[in-house]
């Protein structure tokens, strides 16, 4: 399996809902990432997990809560989101080269709409 998969593809939620985004890879990659991409903008880093531990949080509001249950799975739990959080949420994983996590491969994303 050479792909990063994400579910669901689309999600519509109200501001009081709780939902989760799921990301999976079976390439043996030990670093996984969440990015947020607004329309006509580049992806922006949210979180980095390295060997199942959260290593980077780019000052993301606490209404976004990441979780890495095992080396193949990455979740993003959503609670009390705002309409401005509507975006494409991309997951990525990276292959280790000479001790560094480098080439990042992206999943297809979850398109989130917050009403």
Taking CB under 8 A as the binding criterion, the range among 17-25, 36-44, 60-68, 70-78 that sits at the site for another protein is 36-44
The contact mask relative to another protein for 37-76 (x = CB under 8 A, - = no) is: ---xxxxxx--xxxx-x-xx-x------------------
| Closest to 111 in 3D by CA, of 17, 11, 15 | 11
How many angstroms separate the most distant Cα atoms in the chain?
45
- Distance between CA atoms of residues 72 and 25, nearest Å: 5
Among 101, 110, 112, 114, which residue sits at the site for another protein (rule: CB under 8 A)? 101
- Distance between CA atoms of residues 110 and 107, nearest Å: 9
Residues 6+ apart with CB under 8 A from 59: none
Question: Least distance to another protein from the beta carbon of 4, Å?
Answer: 8
Q: By the criterion CB under 8 A, which residues form the site for another protein?
A: 31, 33, 35, 40-45, 48-51, 53, 55-56, 58, 90, 94, 96, 99-109
């Amino acid at each position: 399996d050479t792909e990063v998969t994400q579910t669901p593809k689309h999600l519509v939620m109200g501001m009081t809902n709780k939902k989760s985004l799921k990301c999976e890879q079976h390439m043996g990659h030990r670093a996984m990432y969440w990015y947020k991409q607004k329309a006509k903008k580049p992806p922006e880093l949210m979180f980095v997990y390295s060997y199942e531990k959260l290593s980077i949080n780019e000052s993301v509001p606490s209404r976004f809560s990441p979780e890495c249950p095992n080396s193949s799975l990455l979740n993003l739990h959503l609670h009390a989101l705002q309409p401005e959080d509507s975006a494409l949420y991309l997951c990525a994983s990276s292959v280790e080269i000479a001790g560094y996590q480098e080439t990042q491969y992206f999943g297809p994303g979850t398109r989130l709409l917050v009403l």
